[in-house]
Each structure stands twice: as structure tokens, then as C-alpha cells.
Structure 1
Amino acid sequence: MANSNIEWTEQTWNPVTGCTKISPGCKNCYAETMAKRLQSMGAAGYENGFALTLMEGRLKEPADRKKPAVYFVNSMSDTFHEDVPFTYIDRIFETIRQTPQHTYQILTKRAERMAEYFHSRSVPENVWLGVSVEDRRYGLLRIDVLRHIPATVRFISAEPLLEDLGKLNLTGIDWVIVGGESGSKARQMKAVWVENILRQCEAARTAFFFKQWGSWGADGIKRSKRANGCLLNGSVRQEFPMSLRRKSK
């Protein structure tokens, strides 16, 4: 468990590490790169590199923190990966239910397995459910699955955004995060794609969070992630759902 450098959360909690690629957004996976780096450094918990590993010793970590925090669950994996048994996911949610002071953000590319899990289980009130939406072919289908799962907050992470998503159905979606890809092999995100999402979020009154340009700037020039920054049309657009509006202050 660690403080997070991810702008839209506070802490990361990884009771699972490692994953496998299932769609184009996975191609340059930051978690895979980080896991291999941690493995080479001899970091505890990454002896298996990016092979999927159930980290039972981490299951109770959030219970040690009494002060309310926002946790991104399994930033180094996918909670609903097909090799994570539902019995183990039950243990993750046992900790979540036992720590109602915290808010938990769970993001997946495996929306159908998430829906299967919650078909016979309720979503705790302190859980936000999200799906990755990197393109039209794979991502848009995940939104349709997500909107039918009852949750306090439903969100979309369009990062890395790989193409124009076209017309979005944001019914039942509370929050959209958008970001470009980073790294030497990063694929370019175009400003018109971001602006299309922004306009639709404004029309639907859905909170919009622009995370970063990544390795390609709004001007189409490749440079460092820091140099490109996170300004959209000259301003910061980082909104949160109303239940966590305090974080944007």
C-alpha cells in the first residue's frame, strides 16, 4: 500500500499484482514496466514480475488506516482478471466492507466478468466501479455493461485514449477520466478526441477529469510528459463526482 502519484486518487492497494493483455490499451502497459523494474530491484511482492499473483498478505492493509482515504484497488493488476477466483475477490470486498471510512475505486477491462461477479452480490456503498475505454471496438461495449451494475459512482477511464470515441452514451456514468499515453513508444492522442468527450460530458453533466497529455502534446509534438502537462485549452479541467468534490479543492 502506498501514496499514489495518480492525480485522481490518494492511495494504491494491490492485493493482486500482475496481469495479461486483452486489448490495444494494454500494449504499452505502465504496470508491466513498473513490475519488471521492481522485480529487478528485488522489491518485496514482485518476485514473479508481472505474472498474476494473489498477495494474501496485503488483504487487510486498509484496515490499518483509520483516517479516511481514497484507494485505487489493484493499480498493478485487474481485480476481475479471469485467474483471480471469485472467492479471493470476496476477501477483497470483505476488507472493503469492514472499512467504510475509505472510498475504493476499482477499474477493469474485464467488464463482463465484473458483471458476472455482481450478478449475485451487491456493490458496497464505498465502492466506485470503472471501465477502461481506450477505443470504440473494445471500450464502448464495456460502458454498456457498466451502466447496468448498481454502484455509488460509475466511471470511465479513457486512458490511453487511442482514437475518437464518437458519440457516447453517458447515461448512468458519473465521471470520465481522459489521458494520453506516456513512454518512448507512446501513441499520440489528438486534441479533437479529448474535446469531443469534454463536450459530451458537459451536455450530460458528467464530471470530466483531464489527467495528462502524456508524451505527445496538444500541438502534436513529442516531448517529456512533464513538459506537455495537463492543461486543456489553457486551463486545468479536473472535476470529481459530487461525492468527492472536496478533493478538487
Structure 2
Amino acid sequence: MAETSIEWAHFTYNPWIGFTKVSPACDHCYAETQNNHRKWAEGWGPHAARKRTKTRSNLQKWDKKAKELGVRYRVFCASLADIGDNHKSIDPEWRRQLVEDIRQYTNLDFLLLTKRPQNIAKLYPDLIEDWPSNAWIGTTVENQVEADRRIPRLLELPAPVRFVSVEPLLGPVDLTSIPYGCPIGNAPSYQDALCGKIWMPEGSVTWATDKCATANGRTYVDLCGYLSWVIVGGETGKGGRPMHPDWVRSIRDQCAAAGVPFLVKQWGDWLPWEPEYDPCWKSQNGKSEDQHVLFPSDIDNDPKWDDGLSFINEGQEHAVFQKVGKKVAGRLLDGVLHNEYPTTGDIR
């Protein structure tokens, strides 16, 4: 009964529409582009008033259907807004009603996604006080900078399911090494957001005597919040940027090691050319626009990141991508469909 093309949700619900761009992930905002020629076009940007919608009745319909079928529907909130937006035009009553709806429609799982997790506690005190099990909370991260900035704030929230949408993925992301707090004795500490542990480099903690607490060069010193789900996706639309497959593989492997559900949403418009898979070159024959790009191996500008470029033939210095569109590019990573979901309230 899915009524949205978004791979990880059955429905989308927007209590209001409009928001302000805050980071590189917003550069080619699909929501803004999609609505430029609609009545909501004036709702975008820091000086534009957000617009209230009239679609609350859909929640009752979806909840009733889910109950009849004995299933749970995932409702993405919000595809055309940010529930963490603190814009002055947003009536506090809109937020109160959203929390009320979440509590009322218990057959729906509300997937609350924000680029502003630091605002949630202040904007939704009723939610913080008694967080319902059907309210999942997630944040968008597109690179390591935003992961380091947003994930710690997300993990402070007492939700039963916390997730990240790494879309569009614009660079390598390590979810196991998020900088954490103040260094102890000038030694840095990190947050493993997948295992829910705080760690310090081996040898930097003289008071950690339990040898079992040290593995792979890391000494685990405390517990922290963790992610229950990771979504990865490439970019679509005008100006969309390619997604390096090794970035996706790295996150896949991190999730597999920690037992965290992993979902590849899409490659986006660009598909990497790898010898073992059909590159679809014929789809571009006869087109006047050059639809191929060379992806520099040093694009991430991080000397610590070794992307390996495992799919590049010996002697090549670039990864080759072809613009084929989202539908043709598909969702497969190394020929495998990754389509995993968390269980509400699952505690590892």
C-alpha cells in the first residue's frame, strides 16, 4: 500500500512545508526544486513563512488500514520540511499536534528526520518527557563533518530507534569514530555510534586494566547511545554528484561488524562503471550531452582515507561514472540488495 517512491517508507506526511538550507547536502535540494512551480514555492528560505498543510486526516486512514491488515506502516515525516526547524513562523501548536498524532496512531511508525537534532529537546519537551515507541528519530549526514556534528546530538535523544540517513553521500564516513567530549589526559576519545561504546586509542588509558576492553587498537571505556539503522543513498536531480562505491562499502562493512540494519536507498543519477557489471553504455548512445565523468581518486582530500579504488583497472587513475538516471542505476551494491530495517524498541 506504499504511496511514496521513497524506498524506506510507505507514506510521507508533512505537518507543514518549507525549510532553510543548512549544509552541502542541501545544495541540490529535491524538495525545493520539486515545489518551485507549486503553491508552496514561497515557503523556502530563512525569510519565508512555513505553510501549514491539511493532510492530518491521512494519518487516521493509514492507521486504520494498518490495524485491519495487522501490519505496521512507516511514515516519513517530513519530506518537504524539517521537524527540527525553529523558524518563527512555525506555530508551536503544529508541533504539539504532531506529538499528539504520534501518540494516537499507534499502528504507524513515524520516521522523524531532521538536519537539526540539537533543536529537538527544546522544541518537543512533551516528546522528550515520554517518548512513544512508534516515534523513530533520525538525522541526515552527508560527510564526516556533519556526522561528527549531528550524530552526538541525535544520540542524546531517548528514542527507541535512532537512525541516520547518509544521503546524499558526498564523502567517506566513519560511524565508529565520532569525536566525543573532552580528552582525558590529553588523549582523544571517540564515540562508536554503531556499537554504543566510547573508546580511546590503545595505550592512552593507563587506568583501563581489563585487557578484554581493548581490541583493534581501541580501549573501550564507557557506554553511549547507538544507532539502530543506517540508510545510504546517492544524489539525484540537476547538479547531482556521484557516490563512490567504496564509501558505501565502508559503511556496509561497519554496519555488518556491529550488527546494525543497513539499507542502500539508491545510487542516484550516477552509476560507477565496474568491469564485473554491465555499465549500460548503450543507454547514452546518440545523446549530445557528455554523460560520463572521471572521478578523481583523491576527491575526498583526506590523507587518512584509502579508498583503494578496487574496481579500477591497473594503470587507471580515475573511477569512471556514467549518468544513467536513478531507475537504471538501481540499488544494488556489488550485486546485492541491502534492504534491512530495525525492529521498534529493539535493544542490542
Q: TM-score range by the shorter chain?
A: 0.7 to 0.9
For 1:194, the aligned partner's letter is V
- Any conservation in 1 of the 2:43–2:51 contact (CA below 8 Å)? no
Matched, 1:147 2:155: yes
Give the percent of matched residue pairs that are identical in Structure 1 and Structure 2.
36
- Any conservation in 2 of the 1:78–1:108 contact (CA below 8 Å)? yes
- Distance between the aligned counterparts of 1:204 and 1:117, measured in 2? 32
1:108-123 aligned at under 5 Å gives the runs 108-118=114-124, 120-123=128-131
1:4-15 aligned at under 5 Å gives the runs 4-15=4-15
Matched, 1:74 2:128: no
Q: Aligned residue for 1:107?
A: 113
- Distance between the aligned counterparts of 1:38 and 1:181, measured in 2? 22
- Distance between the aligned counterparts of 2:49 and 2:246, measured in 1? 37
Give the match's secondary structure for 1:67.
helix
Matched, 1:241 2:239: no
- Any conservation in 2 of the 1:35–1:49 contact (CA below 8 Å)? no
- Residue-pair matches, total: 238
Question: Offset of 1:144 from its aligned partner?
Answer: 0.9
Give the match's secondary structure for 2:323.
coil
Q: Aligned residue for 2:325?
A: 224
TM-score between both structures, scaled by the size of structure 2 = 0.64
Q: Aligned residue for 2:239?
A: 185
**Deviation digits for residues 23-72 of structure 1, max 9, x if unmatched?**
11011011111111333xxxxxx363544524253344312331222211
1:165-204 aligned at under 5 Å gives the runs 165-168=173-176, 169=192, 170=194, 171=196, 172-204=226-258
Give the match's secondary structure for 2:263.
strand
Give the match's secondary structure for 1:176.
strand
- Any conservation in 2 of the 1:16–1:53 contact (CA below 8 Å)? yes
Q: Aligned residue for 1:92?
A: 98
Q: For structure 1, which segment, 116-125 or 223-232, has the greater mean C-alpha deviation from structure 2 after superposition?
A: 116-125
- Any conservation in 2 of the 1:161–1:178 contact (CA below 8 Å)? yes
Q: Aligned residue for 1:35?
A: 35
Larger Rg: 2
- Distance between the aligned counterparts of 1:56 and 1:184, measured in 2? 27
- Distance between the aligned counterparts of 2:155 and 2:175, measured in 1? 16
- Any conservation in 2 of the 1:3–1:11 contact (CA below 8 Å)? yes
Q: Aligned residue for 1:62?
A: 59
- Distance between the aligned counterparts of 1:102 and 1:225, measured in 2? 28
- Distance between the aligned counterparts of 2:343 and 2:228, measured in 1? 9
- Any conservation in 2 of the 1:36–1:49 contact (CA below 8 Å)? no
Q: CA RMSD in A?
A: 2.1
- Any conservation in 2 of the 1:15–1:59 contact (CA below 8 Å)? yes
Question: Offset of 1:223 from its aligned partner?
Answer: 2.2
**Deviation digits for residues 101-126 of structure 1, max 9, x if unmatched?**
11110100001001333555332111
- Distance between the aligned counterparts of 1:108 and 1:150, measured in 2? 15
- Distance between the aligned counterparts of 2:329 and 2:108, measured in 1? 33
Q: Aligned residue for 2:18?
A: 18
- State which of 211, 214, 217 in structure 1 corresponds to 2:268: 214
- Distance between the aligned counterparts of 1:52 and 1:179, measured in 2? 30
- Distance between the aligned counterparts of 1:47 and 1:201, measured in 2? 38
